[in-house]
Structure 1
Amino acid sequence: MGKYILGRILNMIPTLLIVAVIIFLITRMLPGNPAAVMLGPQASAEEIEVLTEKLGLNEPLYIQFFDYIGNLLQGNLGNSLTYNMPIIDLIMERFPNTVILAVSALLIAILVGVPAGIIAARKQNSIFDYAFTTFSLMGVSMPIFWLGIMLVLFFSVNLGWFPATGMGSMDEGIGDFISHLILPSIALATIPTAQFARITRSSMLEVISQDYVKTARSKGLHEFFVICKHAFKNALTPLLTVLGLQISSMLGGAVLTETIFSWPGIGLLIIDAIGKRDFVVVQNMVIFIALIYVVVNLLVDISYKLVNPRIKYSSGKGGTK
């Protein structure tokens, strides 16, 4: 187990390096001078020249690359010219807000989607199962930007129950903070809820037909213990895969949700940086998001062993078998 984890951590390094190389090449292959793009058409030639030198864009490409990689290895992501502060400080300021929104949405998705999937499997081919299938299909297919706008129009504009935008402040009380959190959490949780429910239903249908589940029932165990202790635990592995993907996606910035509700997370930061042509922020945020994905995938792989001890790890290749 320890060798596997070490191998996976070492495998993260070339993955992040490849991402860094791709982002570096893309930003340098864009037409025009990035400094001129950042300053806009009103900038003078002198201003463009000063910014070009400040960003090191006047250096040969290989020197720019090694400077870029060297700064990444030192944890130096550079400074944002738009926000006039270090990018790492921007991330530390915005990322906790994204974590709050992501955790809230995941709690809703798990608390609603997983029980719904279990009940649908238990009541296969019933009215509940057909209704569940319909609503889960709608949840997966529903565009998040449309749902977000509809939630704002109905609950904020028409009913006035919740604020339409912003994050709220704890200084105004926990109620103000929660009221700002409800609508974006619901919007962000819609697709994961439907996916968790569908995966849980499929896994449970496969498991509850197994002999060990029938044996547990024949012993007179209560149905609740049969489902929770025997069936659900063995149906959990596919759900962990989907959970890992959703966590990575949400922590990587719920761009549409944060934009619609003006939630000050890293998704909104990326959109603002693109709009303000701050390519330094954009390229380093992509690296940060890639780091989130590889770390979450590592944690999901480790959780497989905890959930199902029968999984064997191949320490030599850093994989599973």
Structure 2
Amino acid sequence: MLKFIIKRLINLIPTLLIVAVIVFVITRIIPGDPASVMLGPQASASDIHRLKEQLGLNDSMIVQFIHYLNGLIHLDLGESFAYKQSVLTLIIERFPNTLILTICAFAFALLISIPAGVIAATRKGSLLDYAFTVTSLFGISIPVFWLGLMLVLLFSVTLGWLPATGMGEAGESMWSFIAHLILPSITLSTIPMANFSRITRASMLEVMNQDYITAAKAKGVSRFFVTMKHGFKNALTPILTVAGMEISSLLGGAVLTETIFSWPGMGQLVVEAINKRDYIVVQGSVIFLAVLYVLINLIVDVLYKVVNPKISYDQKGGE
């Protein structure tokens, strides 16, 4: 297992290099430049040129990219143009908020979808099964930004039950923090909830048709014990695969949710940086999330071995 982990960590280097090249090129082709945005529309051409010189934006693209790679090699994500702070400092300030939102959305998705998928599989063809299937399709299809706005309209504007934006003040009660967390968590959890429900149902149906399940039922083993002990345990591996991908997607895909609810996390930081043409913050944030994505997938691969000791890392994925 140690050899597998080391090999995956080494493979992280070319992955990050590709990500660095892509995000560097994309940020440079966005119309506008940081100097013009920072100085405003009334700034003179000479002032803009002077600021661009100070920021190193007058250097060629190759020179800028070399400086950027040199910083990455030394674990330096650079300094923000707009915030005048280290990008790593900004990430450390904002990432815990995104992590809180992601964990709550992920937990909410698991608590609802896993039981729903198991129930749908054990009652295949029933009205309950069709209801769960239609609901999951609805969850995958619905646009996140539309759902977020509708939840705000219903629970904040119309009913007045929950706050619409922000995450509460530090001195407020715990309920205030939880109240601010409910709507963005539900919004962010919708797609993973639908995916978990579908993959759980499909995996359970495949396992429940196996001969050893039939034999256990013939021996008079209780339905609940067969479903959870033999069925769900053996159906867990595909669910872990989806879990790894979903939690990575939640971390990187919270941009819309955080923007709608003004949640001060990584997603909102990236949107603000794009609006201000703060290339350095965008680049550093994407690199940081790319590292997390690879590490989460590595953790999921290690969990495969815990769930199913028969898995061989030497054969998995041709490695």
What is residue 283 of structure 2 aligned with on the other side? 283
Q: Secondary structure at the match of 1:80?
A: coil
Identify the range of structure 1 (95-104 vs 275-284) with the bigger mean alpha-carbon deviation. Answer: 275-284
Distance 1:152 1:30 in 2: 32
- Are 1:73 and 2:73 matched, yes or no? yes
Distance 2:250 2:312 in 1: 29
Q: CA deviation at 1:104?
A: 0.4
Q: CA deviation at 1:314?
A: 1.8
| Count of aligned residue pairs for this structure pair | 319
What is residue 296 of structure 1 aligned with on the other side? 296
Q: Secondary structure at the match of 2:124?
A: coil
8 Å CA contact 1:184–1:257 kept in 2: the answer is yes
Per-residue Cα deviation, 1:250-295 (whole angstroms, up to 9, x for no partner): 1124011111111111111111111122122112212122112111
Distance 1:17 1:48 in 2: 31
Identify the range of structure 1 (301-310 vs 43-52) with the bigger mean alpha-carbon deviation. Answer: 43-52
Superposition pairs of residues 138-287 of structure 1, within 5 angstroms: 138-287=138-287
Equivalent residue letter for 1:102: T
Q: Give the TM-score normalised by the residue count of structure 1.
A: 0.93
8 Å CA contact 1:252–1:292 kept in 2: the answer is no
Q: Secondary structure at the match of 2:273?
A: helix
8 Å CA contact 1:98–1:253 kept in 2: the answer is no
Q: Secondary structure at the match of 1:240?
A: helix
What is residue 100 of structure 2 aligned with on the other side? 100
8 Å CA contact 1:248–1:293 kept in 2: the answer is yes
Q: CA deviation at 1:200?
A: 0.3
8 Å CA contact 2:113–2:193 kept in 1: the answer is yes
Shift of the 73–133 alpha-carbon distance from structure 1 to 2, 3 Å rule, reads: same
Q: CA deviation at 1:170?
A: 4.3
Q: Secondary structure at the match of 2:134?
A: helix
Q: Secondary structure at the match of 2:120?
A: helix
8 Å CA contact 2:123–2:129 kept in 1: the answer is yes
Superposition pairs of residues 103-122 of structure 1, within 5 angstroms: 103-122=103-122
What is residue 84 of structure 1 aligned with on the other side? 84
Q: CA deviation at 1:320?
A: 5.0
Distance 2:130 2:152 in 1: 29
Identify the range of structure 1 (278-287 vs 256-265) with the bigger mean alpha-carbon deviation. Answer: 278-287
Identify the range of structure 1 (195-204 vs 36-45) with the bigger mean alpha-carbon deviation. Answer: 36-45
- Are 1:9 and 2:15 matched, yes or no? no
Q: Secondary structure at the match of 1:200?
A: helix
Distance 2:161 2:108 in 1: 19
Shift of the 33–143 alpha-carbon distance from structure 1 to 2, 3 Å rule, reads: closer
Distance 1:214 1:277 in 2: 61
Percent of residue pairs bearing the same amino acid type: 60
- Stretches of structure 2 that go unaligned for 5 or more consecutive residues are none
Distance 2:124 2:318 in 1: 33
Q: CA deviation at 1:40?
A: 4.4
Q: CA deviation at 1:165?
A: 0.6
Distance 1:267 1:141 in 2: 22
Shift of the 170–38 alpha-carbon distance from structure 1 to 2, 3 Å rule, reads: closer
Equivalent residue letter for 1:222: S
8 Å CA contact 1:312–1:320 kept in 2: the answer is no
Per-residue Cα deviation, 1:214-269 (whole angstroms, up to 9, x for no partner): 22223332222211121111111211121111111111240111111111111111
Distance 2:233 2:160 in 1: 42
Distance 2:170 2:215 in 1: 53
Shift of the 200–36 alpha-carbon distance from structure 1 to 2, 3 Å rule, reads: same
Equivalent residue letter for 2:292: I
Distance 2:116 2:18 in 1: 40
Identify the range of structure 1 (181-190 vs 216-225) with the bigger mean alpha-carbon deviation. Answer: 216-225
Q: Give the TM-score normalised by the residue count of structure 2.
A: 0.94
Q: CA deviation at 1:180?
A: 0.5
Q: CA deviation at 1:39?
A: 4.0
Q: CA deviation at 1:46?
A: 3.2
Distance 1:28 1:180 in 2: 36
Identify the range of structure 1 (51-60 vs 23-32) with the bigger mean alpha-carbon deviation. Answer: 23-32
Equivalent residue letter for 1:115: P
Q: CA deviation at 1:55?
A: 2.6
Q: CA deviation at 1:62?
A: 3.4
Distance 2:30 2:267 in 1: 22
What is residue 137 of structure 2 aligned with on the other side? 137
